[in-house]
Amino acid sequence: MKRSNSMRMMLLVAVISLITSTAWTRATSLADSGLTRIRFARGATSGEVSGDLKANTTIRYVLRAAARQLMDVNLSAPEGASLKVTTTGGRRLTPIEGTSGSTGFRGYLPYTGDYILTIASGNQKISYSLYVFIPVRVSFDRGATSDALEGHLKANQGLDYILRAGEGQVLEVNVTPDEADVPLQLIIYGVDGDVLRSGMGEGSSFRGELPTSQDYIVSVRAGEQATDFSMDVIIPQRIRFKTGAVSGSVFTNLPAHHTQYYVLRAMEDQTMQVKITPDDDLELMVYGADGTVLKEYSHGGASFSGELPSDQDYILAVSAGADQVSYRLRVTIR
């Protein structure tokens, strides 16, 4: 028995020695290979490097990232330059179909570890800049329809977020700087490249129906002035009536000081009635997807009845006060 234990110990030591040696060798090879490591600033979701490159030469950068993160890389350089993204073992990464070319890459990472970004100059000397961003995943709490985030932007800096949503869902994003006169740019697009908000003079709020089921990237950009900001991301739960029915209802629990969002389709001149029971310590807001407000929180408590002004989606926001509430929401449209 003692001899068996001794053999096991020798084998364990050998395995540990092999692992340690392999890890040390890999670290040494990376350090000695002329790679430049890209590190994001604290709290940032992106980084940028630039330089000059002689004709027919390459330069390699290394970046550490986590499994299943989305990484977006863009090379700005004269025609003829190219970008390659690989594992440390040399395997080229597979981009999302239709999103990447010779100077760009967008794709999900297969493992947690280092990745190599190689720039080739082609037949001429070049000046280049390489921009890399890895957005932060936004995940709602179980059963929730929104999330509130906060961040800080330095001047001319951006922060990037990513969230999963389905075809036909309504996405609403509202970004508010701490100081009202500080301009912010909001950009929203799918990982397939479909742009929902370009950020060109369109304000810092968005509301729209999503064209496909996929991840969507939400980027917030600052101008010449640094600022703190808050961002509300909302994906309302869609209420659907059974075939032939004129009403539908949902029952749920709502934590204190939280808001639950619902959306339903209705037509011009129809009458919509919304009733919440019990309505103690609850408030209701009703507005159209076009921004038309039919009922503010401060008027009429937790019920609504009114004629609808147009054909569109209507959003119902139910907010709780100081206590958790269980309630039933019933909507009737005639």
H or E element at residue 207: strand 205-209
Q: What is the pLDDT of residue 33?
A: 58
Here the tokens at position 27 are 């670290």
Which residues sit opposite 50 in a β-bridge? 129
Question: What confidence tens digit (pLDDT) does each residue in 129-151 have?
Answer: 999 999 999 999 999 999 999 99
Considering Cα of 34, then 109, then 196, then 179, what sign does the dihedral take?
negative
Q: What is the pLDDT of residue 136?
A: 97
The residue type at 121: S
What is the number of residues in the chain?
334
User: Which ranges of the chain does DSSP label H, i.e. alpha helix?
Assistant: 2-32
3-class DSSP state of 194: coil
Which residues sit opposite 55 in a β-bridge? none
Q: With pLDDT > 70 as the criterion, what percentage of the chain qualifies?
A: 90
Within this chain, do residues 45 and 127 fall inside the same structural domain, yes or no?
Answer: yes
Question: What confidence tens digit (pLDDT) does each residue in 232-249 have?
Answer: 999 999 999 999 999 999
Within this chain, do residues 200 and 110 fall inside the same structural domain, yes or no?
Answer: no
Give dist(CA 158, CA 162) in Å, integer.
Answer: 14
Q: Is residue 16 in a domain?
A: no
Q: Is residue 269 in a domain?
A: yes
pLDDT at 29 over 80: no
The whole-model pTM stands at 0.84
Within this chain, do residues 197 and 244 fall inside the same structural domain, yes or no?
Answer: no
Query: Is residue 169 left, alpha or beta, with left meaning phi > 0 and alpha meaning psi from -120 to 50?
Result: beta
**Cα 325–208–156 angle (5° rounding)?**
100
Among 234, 253, 285, identify where a domain stops. 234
Main-chain dihedrals φ then ψ at residue 179, nearest 5 degrees: -110, 125
Q: With pLDDT > 90 as the criterion, what percentage of the chain qualifies?
A: 83
Within this chain, do residues 242 and 324 fall inside the same structural domain, yes or no?
Answer: yes
Within this chain, do residues 227 and 250 fall inside the same structural domain, yes or no?
Answer: no
> How many domains are there within the chain?
3
> Residue 248 maps to which CATH number?
2.60.120.380
Within this chain, do residues 149 and 221 fall inside the same structural domain, yes or no?
Answer: yes
Q: Is residue 121 in a domain?
A: yes
Confidence band of 193 (pLDDT split at 50, 70, 90): very high
Within this chain, do residues 228 and 244 fall inside the same structural domain, yes or no?
Answer: no
Query: When comparing pLDDT for 155 and 20, which is higher?
Result: 155
Among 106, 133, 160, identify where a domain stops. 133
**End-to-end distance of the chain based on CA atoms, in angstroms?**
83
Among 133, 150, 169, identify where a domain stops. 133
Nearest of 267, 178, 167 to residue 214 by alpha carbon: 167
Here the tokens at position 108 are 């999900």
**Torsion angle of alpha carbons 156, 161, 167, 171, nearest 10°?**
-70
Within this chain, do residues 97 and 56 fall inside the same structural domain, yes or no?
Answer: yes
Tell me, what DSSP letter sits at residue 178?
S
The residue type at 56: N
Q: Is residue 293 in a domain?
A: yes
Which residues sit opposite 70 in a β-bridge? 108
Q: Is residue 9 in a domain?
A: no
Within this chain, do residues 223 and 292 fall inside the same structural domain, yes or no?
Answer: no
Within this chain, do residues 57 and 104 fall inside the same structural domain, yes or no?
Answer: yes
Within this chain, do residues 109 and 159 fall inside the same structural domain, yes or no?
Answer: no
Q: Is residue 262 in a domain?
A: yes
Give dist(CA 27, CA 199) in Å, integer.
Answer: 42
Q: Is residue 27 in a domain?
A: no
Q: Is residue 2 in a domain?
A: no
3-class DSSP state of 198: coil
3-class DSSP state of 29: helix
Within this chain, do residues 149 and 100 fall inside the same structural domain, yes or no?
Answer: no
Question: What confidence tens digit (pLDDT) does each residue in 295-321 have?
Answer: 999 777 799 999 999 999 999 999 999
> Range of 46's domain?
36-133
